[in-house]
Structure 1
């Protein structure tokens, strides 16, 4: 019979270097770190103290996390502002940090990303009816997080 593996619990002193390494590996949110610490078997008060210490030591910085998240999502995945904002809100990031993170977006590069997605989707969209085709492409771009006014500007620029 299979028996579940007993999880090791850590004292706050043992958990600190482990969680510091976890934070050093890549940017983390306070919620991610809190969940990991509770998973280590720590009490909430101990977890909060460790989070404060990590923040003071600059190992945990939600503003930096938001900036990194924005660069990755808009640069690599070509997400729009709205989808990025929703992603950060879902991670429990404050509105202040979200605004700081969104400042990482270069407006020219953002528009280039939109044009690229529009051209690519226009080539692959199988719909023949021009109105339905336009609507499908527009829904796709909105699902990527782009704002309707910018999408319409891109349509006009490409003459589609």
Structure 2
């Protein structure tokens, strides 16, 4: 390993220690630092071996965090993970971080909070706005209608 690769490894380790990262994020950062293909893959392999880089851990923390903090639904979380290059087993593990009971409860809470902010007397307009809001958060339409019809 050359000195420049060792330096890149040290910087990349600090980059990964700050927060969970994907391999693609690290690869992009290495490219920005002028570390290309073979050297970059060597650095990434070393980061994985030293457990600085773990895509399953990233996917789980991302999914759990976006659900708990931002109230995102499974569809939006899954789409964001796929855009970050997470797929297959890691994606499945991330989705398991969201408990079904908590998921439904979070959706009900989001809809109740949103309903408070809506200033419209027409129940159909209110329902339409609530559905659109929940869809934009990444929730499944069947669940949205189930929760809305259960509340009314």
- Structure 2 length as normaliser, TM-score? 0.94
Check if 1:97 corresponds to 2:90: yes
The separation in 2 between residues aligned to 1:90 and 1:83, in whole angstroms, is: 11
Check if 1:131 corresponds to 2:124: yes
Larger radius of gyration: 1
Q: Hey, which of these two has a bigger chunk of helix by percent? A: 2
C-alpha displacement of 1:44: 1.4
The separation in 2 between residues aligned to 1:128 and 1:115, in whole angstroms, is: 20
C-alpha displacement of 1:40: 1.0
The separation in 1 between residues aligned to 2:80 and 2:121, in whole angstroms, is: 34
- Structure 1 length as normaliser, TM-score? 0.89
Q: How does 1:1-160 map to 2 (within 5 A)?
A: 11-159=4-152
Query: Could you report, residue by residue, the CA deviation over 1:98-120 in whole angstroms, capped at 9, with x for unpaired residues?
Result: 11101000111111110101101
SS at match of 1:109: helix
CA RMSD of superposed structures (Å):
1.2
Query: Could you report, residue by residue, the CA deviation over 1:73-114 in whole angstroms, capped at 9, with x for unpaired residues?
Result: 001111000010011111111232111101000111111110
